[in-house]
Every structure is written in C-alpha cells, then in structure tokens.
C-alpha cells in the first residue's frame, strides 16, 4: 500500500487512514526522535499495552492511561502496590489487563534503576540500540516493512535483562519506530527524512 493522499493533499504512510487522531499521531509524533527519558518510558509502556490490540485503541485511551498512571512519572508508578493495581483494574479509559499493569509498575522500577546506574540514564540506554542516531530505512511501500529487526531483538533482550516485561522484539520494533530510533516513513510520505 502506498502513501494515501488526504483532504489536505499531503501523502502519508498507507497505515494512517482517515482517522484525524491517527493523522495527527503520524504527522506530529511517529518517527520523530524522542530523547526524553520519561516520554520514552511512557511510549514503551503504551506499546506493551497495545499487544494484541490496534494502536488506534491505545491512542484513543492515551489520556486515560496518563491519568491512571500519574502522567507516567516513573518515580510515582514505581511505588504502586496491590491497592493501586486493584484501582487500575477498575479504572475506566485504560486496558485493564493485570499482567500489563504489573509490567508497567515493574517497568517504572527498572527505569529508576537505569536512571541511577546507566551512564546517561534510560534515554542513553535506549538510544545505544542504534548508536545514538536514527536508522533511516528506504521503504517504497509497507510491503517490505519488517515486524522486527536484529536491533529490536537485541534491545528486547537488554530491556528484559533490565527488568522490563511485554518487550518482545515485535513490540520493541514498534516502539523504535514510534520513538524515532527508526524512520520507517515510506518513500513518498511527506514526513520522510532525507
């Protein structure tokens, strides 16, 4: 599928469709290099919640997730216990999956450990997967786009070793695309770099 023209006349990656929320996400966020450690934590956790669901579902619930998880402030989320887990299992506006909720709490704790122990903190840990610079791929259309790569598999292993869960290579590759570690905008997309 090639980039699709929209009412504004801009060609976009074929996955975008006509949903205004999806268009805004594609145009303003997806594939832009993110180097803020807290924002990277939020994005990685949301990608974990997305497992088995459509990304648009998570986008529509993102504000609910932010409310439920204290703005994805890892220092606050790391302190959550069983009472907060029960509260989140009843929270409207999020995906209420115990394993994913617990993984988000464990992820906050892993994030704090990396912030304290890894040179440059969590953001540096993440960006080491691509030697600090985005990988710019050359896709003519979506047909060649992989579900995972060697870089995603390696980062997945490092994240698991650090204590993160719901970070398999497919989830990690989606995270890498979203966080701009990889530029997978198709060749004719107006957001394509270089």
At 194, the pLDDT band (50, 70, 90 cuts) reads low
pTM of this structure: 0.94
SS3 177: helix
Q: Which residues are catalytic?
A: 25, 47, 55
How do residues 4-61 score in pLDDT, each as one tens digit?
456 788 999 988 988 999 999 999 999 999 999 999 999 999 999 999 999 999 999 9
Residue 64: partners with Cβ closer than 8 Å, 6 or more residues away: 91, 92, 93, 94
Q: Which CATH number fits domain 34-183: 1.10.340.30, 2.40.128.130, 1.10.150.110, 1.10.3720.10?
A: 1.10.340.30
What does the mean pLDDT of the chain come to? 94
Are the beta carbons of 11 and 3 closer than 8 angstroms? yes
């Amino acid at each position: 599928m090639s980039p699709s023209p929209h009412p504004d006349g801009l060609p976009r990656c074929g996955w975008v469709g006509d949903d205004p929320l999806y268009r805004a996400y594609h145009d303003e966020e997806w594939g832009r290099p993110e180097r803020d450690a807290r924002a990277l934590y939020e994005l990685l956790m949301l990608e974990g919640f997305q497992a088995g669901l459509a990304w648009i579902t998570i986008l529509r619930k993102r504000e609910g997730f932010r409310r439920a998880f204290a703005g994805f402030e890892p220092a606050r989320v790391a302190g959550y216990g069983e009472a907060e887990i029960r509260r989140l299992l009843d929270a409207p506006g999020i995906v209420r999956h115990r394993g994913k909720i617990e993984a988000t709490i464990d992820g906050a704790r892993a994030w704090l450990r990396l912030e304290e122990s890894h040179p440059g903190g969590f953001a540096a840990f993440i960006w080491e997967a691509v030697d600090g610079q985005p990988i710019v791929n050359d896709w003519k259309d979506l047909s060649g786009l992989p579900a995972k790569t060697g870089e995603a598999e390696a980062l997945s292993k490092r994240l698991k070793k650090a204590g993160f869960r719901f970070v398999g290579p497919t989830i990690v590759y989606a995270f890498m695309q979203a966080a701009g570690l990889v530029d997978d905008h198709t060749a004719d997309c107006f957001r394509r770099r270089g």
